[in-house]
C-alpha cells in the first residue's frame, strides 16, 4: 500500500503522460484505482469499497458488453444490421459510469454508449433494432430513465441540463432521501466538446447549478481526427470556462470510473451542482462498421492501447485478489455464449416496422396534411400491392 496522503501513486508509464504532450503541466493527475498491471492503488479522494459479487458483476457487465460488440459487428457483416458503432476498449468507462446511476436518475447518451444502456437493464435487442434500421428510438425512455441515442453530436447535452433543471424544480435534490434525490448524466465524446452547444450546456449547468454530470469519453478519436484537432489542452479543462469542477479519470479502470462518477452523481443529487468527468480511454475498433481506421491511425498505436485493455486489467486484478477462478470464468463464458445466441436469434425476429406506422408519431394531435398523406399512401400501397399480387398470381 502506498501512502494515500502523498497523493495517488504515479505509474511512470501511465497514459496521461504519454497522451497530453501539448501541455502536460495543465493536465491534472488522472485518478486510478487499478494501475495498468491490475494492481490496486488507493486514492486520497476517490475510493470504492465493493463486495466480491459487485466486483464480479462489473466484470460480467464488461464481458457481455464486449460480446455485444463482437456479435453486432458480425451481424452487420451478415447484413442483419445496417451499421454498428463499437464500444470495444470503452467497457470500463461505460460500465463504471453506468453502475453509478440509480433507478430515479436520468441518462442522456450519445450513440456508442451500449454499456450505459445495458446498465439500465435494457434488452440489448432494442439497441440492435436502432442499428438494424427498424426504429430511431429503441427502448422506452419513460420506464428506463434512458433517453434515446442522439446522433447529432452534442445535441443531447442541453436537453440533459434542462431535464436536470426540472429535477431541481421538482425538489428532487438535496432532500437526503436516497430514493428521491436524483441526478442526470450525459455521455459524449472528445469530438463533441468542440460543439458550441457543449459549451452552452456546461455553462448553463454551472449557472443554474443543475444536478447533472458530464461524462466525456475521450477515446482519442472523432472518426479520423485525433483529440489534438479538437483542443490544444486536455478536455477536462473545458469545464474551467464555466467554473465547473472537473476530474480526469483513467477510463480503462472500471473501479476508478465508478468511484469518480458515483461521487459526482452523489454531489449532484445532494444539490452540489454539476461535474465534468473526462474518462481517458480508447476506441479500439473502427468508428463504425463503415469506417476504415487504417487510413488514419497506426497499428502500433492500437497495439499500445491493447496493452491497456480494460477487461484484461480488471480480470488480472480479480485473479490476483482471488476473486475469480476458472470455474467462474467458465460460467461467465457460458453466460456470454447464451447472451450472444439470444442476440443472433433475436435480431432476426425483430419485425420490420409496418410502413404505415411512420405516419403515427410525427404529431401527437392530428395534422391534416399528414392525415391526407397517409390516406394517399394507403390507397397507393393497396393498389400496388394488389397489382403485385395479381402479377404474382398471373405468373404462378
Which are the catalytic amino acids? 283, 287, 296
Residue whose CB is less far from other proteins, 124 or 191: 191
Q: Does 21 bind a second copy (CB under 8 A)?
A: no
Q: Does 367 bind other proteins (CB under 8 A)?
A: yes
Q: Does 241 bind a second copy (CB under 8 A)?
A: yes
The item of Mg ion, a second copy, other proteins, none sharing an interface with residue 23, based on CB under 5 to 8 Å by kind, is: a second copy
Q: How far is CA 219 from CA 94, 252, 305, 332, 364, in A?
A: 12, 10, 11, 27, 39
What is the layout of strands, in order, in the sheet containing 246-250?
106-108, 184-189, 212-218, 275-280, 246-250
Binding mask 159-198 for other proteins (x = CB under 8 A): xxxxxxxxx-xx--------------------xx-xxxx-
Closest residue to ligand TPP, based on beta-carbon distance: 189
> Is residue 109 within 8 Å of residue 103, measured between CB atoms?
no
Q: Does 240 bind a second copy (CB under 8 A)?
A: yes
CA distance 312 to 326: 15
Q: Does 191 bind ligand TPP (CB under 6 A)?
A: yes
Cell of 382: 393497396
With the C-alpha atoms ordered 88, 139, 151, 260, is the resulting torsion angle positive or negative?
A: negative
Q: Does 340 bind other proteins (CB under 8 A)?
A: no
The helix/strand/coil state of 258 is helix
Cell of 298: 497506426
Q: How far is the CB of 386 from ligand TPP (least distance, A)?
A: 41
Of positions 26, 152, 330, 380, contacts ligand TPP by CB under 6 A:
152
The H or E element containing residue 225 is strand 225-226
The DSSP symbol for 176 reads: S
Count, residues near ligand TPP per rule CB under 6 A: 14
- Estimate to the nearest angstrom the gap between the alpha carbon of 196 and the chain centroid: 21
Of positions 222, 246, 265, 343, contacts Mg ion by CB under 5 A:
222
Strand partners, 106: 184
The helix/strand/coil state of 203 is helix
Q: Does 45 bind other proteins (CB under 8 A)?
A: no
Of positions 146, 222, 249, 324, contacts ligand TPP by CB under 6 A:
222
Q: Does 301 bind other proteins (CB under 8 A)?
A: no
Strands 184-189 and 275-280: unpaired
Footprint of a second copy (CB under 8 A): 22-23, 26, 194-200, 203, 206-207, 209, 229-233, 237-243
- Which residue ranges make up the site for Mg ion (CB under 5 A)? 189-190, 219, 222
Residues that bind ligand TPP (CB under 6 A): 112, 151-153, 189-192, 219, 221-223, 283, 287
Amino acid at each position: 500500500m502506498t501512502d494515500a496522503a502523498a497523493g495517488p501513486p504515479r505509474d511512470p508509464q501511465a497514459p496521461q503522460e504519454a497522451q497530453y504532450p501539448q501541455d502536460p503541466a495543465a493536465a491534472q493527475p488522472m485518478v486510478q484505482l487499478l494501475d495498468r498491471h491490475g494492481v490496486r492503488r488507493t486514492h486520497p479522494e476517490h475510493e470504492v469499497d465493493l463486495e466480491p459479487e459487485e466486483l464480479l458483476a462489473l466484470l460480467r457487465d464488461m464481458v457481455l458488453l464486449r460480446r455485444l460488440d463482437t456479435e453486432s459487428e458480425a451481424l452487420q457483416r451478415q447484413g442483419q444490421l445496417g451499421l454498428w458503432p463499437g464500444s470495444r476498449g470503452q467497457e470500463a468507462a461505460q460500465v463504471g459510469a453506468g453502475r453509478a446511476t440509480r433507478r430515479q436518475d436520468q441518462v442522456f447518451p450519445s450513440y456508442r454508449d451500449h454499456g450505459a444502456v445495458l446498465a439500465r437493464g435494457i434488452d440489448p435487442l432494442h439497441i440492435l433494432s436502432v442499428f438494424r434500421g427498424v426504429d430511431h428510438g429503441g427502448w422506452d425512455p419513460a420506464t428506463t430513465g434512458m433517453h434515446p441515442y442522439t446522433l447529432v453530436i452534442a445535441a443531447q447535452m442541453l436537453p440533459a441540463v434542462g431535464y436536470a433543471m426540472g429535477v431541481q424544480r421538482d425538489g428532487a435534490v438535496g432532500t437526503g432521501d436516497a430514493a428521491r434525490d436524483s441526478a442526470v448524466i450525459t455521455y459524449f465524446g472528445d469530438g463533441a466538446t468542440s460543439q458550441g452547444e457543449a459549451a452552452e450546456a456546461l455553462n448553463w449547468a454551472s449557472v443554474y447549478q443543475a444536478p447533472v454530470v458530464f461524462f466525456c469519453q475521450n477515446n482519442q478519436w472523432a472518426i479520423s481526427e485525433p483529440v489534438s484537432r479538437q483542443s490544444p489542452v486536455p478536455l477536462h479543462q473545458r469545464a474551467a470556462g464555466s467554473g465547473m469542477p472537473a476530474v480526469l479519470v483513467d477510463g480503462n479502470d472500471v473501479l476508478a470510473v465508478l468511484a469518480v462518477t458515483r461521487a459526482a452523481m452523489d454531489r449532484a443529487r445532494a444539490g452540489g451542482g454539476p461535474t465534468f468527468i473526462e474518462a481517458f480511454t480508447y476506441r479500439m475498433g473502427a468508428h463504425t462498421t463503415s469506417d476504415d481506421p487504417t487510413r488514419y491511425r497506426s497499428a502500433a498505436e492500437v497495439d499500445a492501447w491493447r496493452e491497456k485493455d480494460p477487461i484484461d486489467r480488471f480480470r488480472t486484478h480479480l485473479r490476483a485478489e482471488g476473486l475469480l477462478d476458472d470455474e467462474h470464468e467458465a460460467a461467465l463464458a457460458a453466460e456470454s455464449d447464451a447472451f450472444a445466441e439470444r442476440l443472433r436469434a433475436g435480431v432476426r425476429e425483430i419485425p420490420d416496422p409496418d410502413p404505415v406506422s411512420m405516419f403515427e408519431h410525427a404529431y401527437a394531435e392530428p395534422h391534416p396534411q399528414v392525415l391526407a398523406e397517409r390516406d394517399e399512401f394507403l390507397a397507393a400501397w393497396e393498389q400496388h400491392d394488389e397489382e403485385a399480387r395479381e402479377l404474382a398470381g398471373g405468373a404462378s
